[in-house]
Amino acid sequence: MSIEVKNVFKYYGEQAALNDVSFKVNSGEIIGFLGPNGAGKSTMMKIITCFIPKSAGTVKVCGLDVEEHSIEVRKKVGYLPEHNPLYLDMYVKEYLSFVAGIYKIPNRKERVQEMIKKVGLEKEQNKKIGALSKGYRQRVGLAQAIIHDPEVLILDEPTSGLDPNQLVDIRKLIIEIGKTKTVMLSTHIMQEVEAICDRVIIIKEGTIVADNSAKEIQQKDVEKQTILVEFDKNCSRNQLRQIPGVKSVKQVDDNKWVFLGAGDVRPEIAKFAQRESLLILAMSIEEKSMEEVFKELTQN
Ligand code: ADP
Ligand code: MG
């Protein structure tokens, strides 16, 4: 187990930013930590990376308690903070060498070169960080996060503020880096989760509202599964409503119907058709987009 969060609370004064949060991340997983602004994503990540203390609960990284073994935990965790606070007056190479020094990495020069190559900063390596575009600054941020070869990578909104091309590049880089590490990345962009993550944890107002594979979350709200069916001839709406599991039926065209079912009622529709000697010309299930599911889970 790479990350274990159990019954964590965090108060800023009176306000509870995290309210009894529990989840686990297995080693090797890339998980998306999804939630609207102010949900508590950054707060959770700062606790995992030992930047701020929790108010209650336990957090372990690679089996080590973040408070009892904070130095060990920092060695095992790479962190790209939300507002990546880079030293804009430093040169790329100088900065990475400085970070390598903090971690007391041997063969510092080689390691810095290795990182520059890994994140695609060869052309920019002699520039000041302040002269780089946001996309390249994020590459520097990723390089500093992985320079000490951590097992776990915590990326707080790593693609926010990037243009579409930079976004694709950084996602690719995260997927590449994620092949050998456990990655937890926060985002408020649904497509990001679909593009990168194995699993998604959704947080809303400091509480976890979903924790599942991306696919399962899409299928979670089966109450409203929509199925479009075209028969070869007409039939009565009353008959169709008798099909087990069907909640409602709407006619959209001559022989075309939209079913709203509790779960996947396609097998029942097929049985009905056979019984009534109807041919099914088309049948499709409409999966909800992550975006719709996210909205449903995080809006009141
Ligand atoms: P997210 O990263 O999901 O946008 P945050 O973890 O930054 O959410 O914030 C969660 C809640 O905690 C918000 O309501 C925010 O205003 C509050 N908060 C975050 N940091 C502080 C702080 N240092 N002091 C007081 N309140 C804070
Ligand atoms: Mg945040």
Same domain, 62 and 120: yes
Tokens of 218: 């899409």
187 lines ligand 1 (CB under 6 A): no
Domain assignment of residue 219, yes or no: no
Same domain, 116 and 249: no
Tens of pLDDT, residue by residue over 191-238, are: 788 888 989 999 999 999 988 876 676 665 545 678 899 999 999 999
> Ligand 1: which residue has its CA nearest to atom 26?
12
Q: What is the pTM of this model?
A: 0.80
Tens of pLDDT, residue by residue over 142-199, are: 999 999 999 999 999 998 888 888 888 899 999 999 999 999 999 988 778 888 898 9
Same domain, 134 and 206: yes
265 lines ligand 1 (CB under 6 A): no
> Ligand 1: which residue has its CA nearest to atom 5?
40
| Nearest residue to 287 (alpha-carbon basis) of 224, 198, 202 | 224
Distant-in-sequence, close-in-space partners of 66: CB < 8 Å, separation ≥ 6: 47, 48, 50, 59, 60, 73
Q: How large is the angle between the packed helices 92-102 and 134-146, nearest 10 degrees?
A: 20
Q: Which atom of ligand 1 is nearest to the CA of 39?
A: 3
Give the range of the structural domain holding residue 252, as residue numbers without chain letter: 225-298
Same domain, 199 and 256: no
Same domain, 185 and 47: yes
Q: Which atom of ligand 1 is nearest to the CA of 206?
A: 10
Q: What is the pLDDT at residue 160? A: 85
> Ligand 1: which residue has its CA nearest to atom 13?
38
